[in-house]
Structure 1
Amino acid sequence: MTEQRYHVIGMTCDRCAGALETRVGSVHGVLSVGIDLDSGAVTVTGEALDGSRICAAITEAGFEVAAVL
C-alpha cells in the first residue's frame, strides 16, 4: 500500500471536497482519499498509484494541484 499527498487549490467547502473525493476515488488503484479543507491537503492511499492520473482527476474536478508533497 502506498500513500501520496497533494496540495490542492480551490477547495472551499464540503461539497468541493466531496466532488474531489469522488473523482479521485474513481482512479484505478485508489482505495481511499482523505481531504483537509483548511490546509488544502489531499492524501491518496492505494496500490500502484499513478500520480499523473491522480493529478488529472484533480484538474478534471475543477481544482489546481499546487504541489505534490
Structure 2
Amino acid sequence: MTTSTFTVTGMTCQHCVSSVTEEVSEIPGVTDVAVTLDDGSLVVTSEQPLDRAAVSAAVDEAGYQLA
C-alpha cells in the first residue's frame, strides 16, 4: 500500500468533497480516499503508486483542480 497527498483547489462545501471522493475512488487500485475541505488536502491510499495525471484527471472530472 502507498499513500499520496495532493492539494485540491476550488472546493467550497461538503458536496465538493463528496464529488472529489467519488471520482478519485474510481481510479483502479485506490483503496481509500480522504478529503479535507479546510485545507483542500486529498490523501489517497492505493495498492500501487498512483500516476499524478490519473488523479488530476479524476479531480478535473469532479470539477476541481490539483494545486
Partners of 2:56 and 2:31 lie apart in 1 by: 16
Aligned to 2:53: 52
1:20 matched to 2:36: no
**Alpha-carbon RMSD:** 0.8
Q: CA deviation at 1:51?
A: 2.2
5+ unaligned residues in a row in structure 1: which ranges?
Answer: none
Partners of 2:52 and 2:60 lie apart in 1 by: 12
Percent identity between the two aligned chains: 39
* Count of aligned positions: 66
Moved runs in structure 1, 4+ residues, more than 2 A? Answer: none
5+ unaligned residues in a row in structure 2: which ranges?
Answer: none
Q: CA deviation at 1:59?
A: 1.0
